[in-house]
């Protein structure tokens, strides 16, 4: 029984020794005021980069909103062409202010599902009459 207890104690001691991470202990021993400052600078740089990314995202969102508003205004102004032939409206629609591109969509024609804030879509019927004008 005594030998079994000693053997069990040795196994437990070995298992506990294996759990000790020498790399972690070495890193703790090597921590100096300089390494603490370097880590803080790295953390500050990461926060600065994150703030810059948020600022860039805000700028992008503002630009996107501006494009959407311009396109919506153009779509509303060009809505007078709804129900009229595309051939008559083509020049007026293409010259719409606040519109980067015009996409004409005919019945049954495949279109991409990508969204573009400053793209004006002109949906036509079978006779090339304008059904609706919208952004996206």
- 8: tokens are 């069990």
Superfamily of chain region 2-135: Trypsin Inhibitor V, subunit A (3.30.10.10)
- 121: tokens are 């879509």
pLDDT digits (tens, 9 = 90+) for 15-70: 555 555 555 555 555 666 666 556 666 666 665 666 656 667 788 888 888 888 98
Q: For residue 126, what is the DSSP state?
A: T
In this prediction the pTM is: 0.56
CA separation for the pair 75, 118 (Å, rounded): 10
pLDDT digits (tens, 9 = 90+) for 70-100: 889 999 999 999 999 999 999 888 887 777 8
Give pLDDT, residue 127.
96
What percent of the chain has pLDDT above 90? 33
Who contacts 69 (Cβ-Cβ below 8 Å, separation ≥6)? 98
Give pLDDT, residue 63.
85
Sorted by where each begins, the domain ranges of the chain are 2-135
Integer angstrom CA distances of residue 21 from 18, 24, 33: 8, 5, 23
Give pLDDT, residue 134.
94
């Amino acid at each position: 029984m005594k030998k079994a207890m000693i053997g069990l104690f040795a196994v437990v001691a070995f298992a506990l020794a294996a759990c000790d991470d020498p790399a972690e202990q070495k890193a703790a021993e090597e921590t100096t005021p300089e390494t603490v400052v370097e880590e803080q600078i790295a953390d500050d740089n990461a926060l600065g980069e994150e703030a810059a990314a948020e600022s860039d995202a805000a700028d992008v969102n503002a630009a996107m909103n501006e494009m959407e508003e311009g396109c919506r205004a153009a779509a509303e102004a060009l809505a007078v062409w709804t129900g009229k032939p595309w051939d008559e409206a083509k020049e007026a629609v293409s010259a719409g202010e606040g519109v980067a591109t015009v996409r004409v969509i005919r019945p049954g024609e495949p279109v991409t599902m990508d969204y573009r804030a400053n793209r004006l879509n002109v949906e036509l019927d079978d006779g090339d009459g304008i059904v609706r004008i919208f952004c996206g």
